Amino acid sequence: MLRLPPFTYLAPRTVDDAAKALASHGGAAMLVAGGTDLYPNMKRRQFEPSVLVGLLAIRELRGVRGGAREGVTLGSCTTLSAVAVHPEIAAHYPALATAAGLVSSPQLRNMGTIGGNVCVDTRCNYYNQSYEWRKAVGFCMKRDGAICLVAPRSPRCWAVSSSDTAPVLWSLGARVRLRSAAGERTIPVETLFRDDGIEYLAKRPDEILTDILLPPADGWRSAYLKLRRRGSFDFPVLGVAVAVQMEGDVVRDARIVVGAVASQPRPAPAAAAALVGGRLTSELIARVAELAAGPAKPLDNTDFTHPYRKKMTRVFVARALASLAGLAPAGEPAAEVA
């Protein structure tokens, strides 16, 4: 088996202590919660921090507060399992419960956290390999190297945002709270992400994602569909999050965000705008699905080829909207797995 490189593990009890530890170790330290993504990456030497600041002992980071009427706040270290089965989330933010419940496997959802999934490292066929493999093939710019092996003339890294929950939170209009030794800020979740495979988060290294704030449910309905080869384990190679706010049978507002097709979740504002003011008929859904497939620009650096993933974007957007319109049986989310 691959082994973890040596490191010092700190287990602060408060966010303040964690922020101080992070500040005092500078670039040598990284944050870890469930470790389901970071530890395997460390074994492959994608990261070699000398200090890990563990967040699991911080009680204030765990749990779900509030309700659909006034908005829900999720502590960033709430496990994905807990998010998936939380009654208030399942009832009023169903896309989030679905997405959390589709991450990896039950064991990993029991350890993995919602904050960790939002911040999960971007992925690429040429990056998610052992050190020896990467050394043999030639290191890529995301770690240890200078070029992109997917697009050799590219000045940037094309690693793919592989979070199930990030596109959903974006579609729900969520905000995130970031704290550091220097202070605190709350920002819309979409501004947390950057379109770069390496610097994919706008969060500063000294900042800790402490809370995820969902707005009042307020008539919003939501759905999430995921494409992957198997019924478990696999990261999404396409994730479609849709949210519509209904007023009677007319769409008052809508958001469509597509995951796993770029280095950050991709919104489809034109498609969403086409929904507003209309009724969720099959005709409108077909037109919107066509528009939504536009922004998806997948590269061939995950499972399945990009023409297929792009084609599936249209199908998945249509299905997600149809399920919100009651036009198709919502079914089990797993039934949509390709």
Partner 1 sequence: MASAVALGTPFRLVGRPLPRHDARDKVAAATAYAADWAMPGMLHAAVLRSPYPSARIVKLETAGAQRMPGVAVVLTAKDVPRNTLSTDVPGQTTAVGPLRATLYVLALERVRHQGEPVALVAAETLEQARAAAEAIDVEYEPVPGVFGPEAALAPGAPRVHEGGNVLAEWRIARGDLAAAFARAAVVVEGEYATQLVDAASLEPEAGVAWIDSDGVITIRVSTQVIEHFRDVAEALQVPQNRVRVIGTYLGGGFGGKEDVTVEVYLGLLALKTGRPVRMVWTRQESLLARAKRHPYRMRYRTGALATGEIVAQQIELLADAGAYAYLSALVLLYSTVTAAGPYRAPAVRVEARVAYTNNPPTSAMRGFGAMQTVFAYESQIDQIARALGLDPVEVRGVNALRRGDSLPVGQVLETHVALPELAARAWAALGPPTPPRAPHVRVGRGLACNFQPYGRIVWLHDWSSAWVGFEMDGSLVVRCGVPDVGGGQASSLGQIAAEVLGVDFDRVSLHISDSALTPLAGTTTASRQLYMSGNAVLKAARELRAQILSVAASLLGADPTALDLADGDVVTRDGRTLPLPTVLSQCARVGVPRSHLAVYHAPAGEPVDLATGSGKVFPDYTFGAHAAEVEVDTETGAVRVLKYAAAHDVGRAINPQSVEGQIQGGAVQGLGYGLMEEVVVEEGVNLTTSFASYLVPSAADVPDVDPIVVESGEGLGPFGARGIGEPPIGPPAAAVANAIADATGARVTRLPLTAERVAAALGLLRT
End-to-end CA distance of the chain: 30
CB of 282 to partner 1, least distance (A): 11
Sites for partner 1 among residues 174-233 (CB under 8 A): 227, 229-233
Q: At what angle do helices 282-292 and 306-325 cross, to 10 degrees?
A: 150
Task: Let me know: does 159 contact 200? Beta carbons within 8 Å.
Answer: yes
Under the binding rule (CB under 8 A), the answer on residue 45 touching partner 1 is no
- Name which of 203 and 226 has its Cβ closer to partner 1: 226
- Name which of 106 and 277 has its Cβ closer to partner 1: 106
CB of 133 to partner 1, least distance (A): 6
Reported as half-sphere exposure (CB side, CA atoms, 13 A), residue 48 has a value of: 8
CB of 57 to partner 1, least distance (A): 28
Q: Are strands 71-75 and 208-214 parallel, antiparallel or unpaired?
A: antiparallel
Sites for partner 1 among residues 295-324 (CB under 8 A): 303-305, 307-308, 311-312, 315, 319
Under the binding rule (CB under 8 A), the answer on residue 234 touching partner 1 is yes
Site stretch for partner 1 (CB under 8 A), options 109-117, 132-140, 187-195, 260-268 = 132-140
Which residue has 């390496």 as its token pair?
198
DSSP 253: E
Which residue has 């299905």 as its token pair?
319
- Neighbour-count burial of 183, counting CB atoms closer than 10 A to its CB (0-12 exposed, 13-18 middle, 19+ buried): exposed
Contacts of 228 (CB under 8 A, 6+ apart): 234, 235, 236, 237, 303, 337, 338
Taking CB under 8 A as the criterion, the residue among 14, 24, 50, 105 binding partner 1 is 105
- Name which of 92 and 123 has its Cβ closer to partner 1: 123
Under the binding rule (CB under 8 A), the answer on residue 326 touching partner 1 is no
CB of 304 to partner 1, least distance (A): 5
